[in-house]
Structure 1
Amino acid sequence: MAQGSGTKDDPWLLKTPPGTSDIVLYRAPDATPPALVCIAGGTELRYHLRAIEDYHAMLKAHGDWMELGNADEQKPAKEGTVEAWARSVDNPVGGWYGIKKGLRGRFANYVSPVMEVLGLVELEHSPRNNRVRAI
């Protein structure tokens, strides 16, 4: 299970869905824009903080398992996956949930473990092709 409460002083210490990499995440509500900060291998990525609520609502509406579809920003995301939704002009932010160009991808890989620790989703932890569904 996760350690931490999700603040900068007490971040969540999590693993990516396959369990292969450690990640540190915390909420930064006072950032501009408000952010979910992820530190992975020394790289800091930021996603819109509202992604947690929007992602959960999307999964609830979807009503079934959805493939994560992890992909770096420079690679296309497979259609019908969480990663594709997190980049779509049809999502609530009208595009990327990632904030900094060049570091906007891998949303599904880094935000999904937060969703799990918050009790919002059931997340698979296989070596590949993991899926998620709303609770």
Structure 2
Amino acid sequence: MSATGSSDDPWVLKTPPGTSEYTMHRDDTAEPAELVCRVGSTKLRYLARCLDDVPAMLKAHGDWMELGSADEGKPAKDGTLEAWARSADNPVGGWYGLRNGYRGRFAMYIPPLLELLGLVELEHNPRNNRIRVP
């Protein structure tokens, strides 16, 4: 990993199927800290605490979990990472996504960063990818 994850040196990532490239950096000046994801000209923001919360949840889950990525306006499939990332039962009591209208797609953009940081294993199939802790 050569990038530092700062705004000047963001991580360059690919979606789980490997079809699209995007960048992400950590913004510790925000309160609370955020992960800023740039996909083309679109900017998405997620709570940075997900880097701790997702592996902890997956460890408790104990097995592979389907990603189930979905846009904010579409329902997330039950039992998926995307559903957990918007559930009132997660550690933040709702959405990890912060930008209204763009809070979805958590399960598309966060797992590759978790994998890069060595926190999870991630499948890279054309569809229906899953995630687990190593």
Match of 1:92 in 2: 91
Match of 1:109 in 2: 108
Distance apart, 1:41 and its partner CA: 1.9
Q: Which amino acid aligns with 2:132?
A: R
Question: 1:75 is paired with a residue of what secondary structure?
Answer: coil
Distance apart, 1:3 and its partner CA: 4.8
Question: 2:36 is paired with a residue of what secondary structure?
Answer: strand
RMSD: 0.9
Match of 1:70 in 2: 69
Q: 1:25, 1:119 → 2: CA distance?
A: 16
In the superposition, the TM-score normalised over structure 1's length comes to 0.96
Q: Which amino acid aligns with 2:118?
A: G
Q: 1:62, 1:42 → 2: CA distance?
A: 35
Structure 1 segment 2-81 matched on structure 2, within 5 A: 3-81=2-80
Gaps of 5+ in 2: none
Question: 1:97 is paired with a residue of what secondary structure?
Answer: coil
Is the contact between residue 67 and residue 131 of structure 1 (CA under 8 Å) also seen in structure 2?
yes
Q: Which amino acid aligns with 2:107?
A: A
Match of 1:121 in 2: 120
Q: 2:31, 2:4 → 1: CA distance?
A: 21
Q: Does 1:133 align with 2:127?
A: no
List, as ranges, runs of 4+ consecutive aligned residues in structure 1 with deviation greater than 4 Å: none
Q: Which amino acid aligns with 2:78?
A: E
Give % identity.
64
Distance apart, 1:36 and its partner CA: 0.5
Q: How many residues align?
A: 134
Distance apart, 1:100 and its partner CA: 1.1
Distance apart, 1:7 and its partner CA: 1.2
In the superposition, the TM-score normalised over structure 2's length comes to 0.97
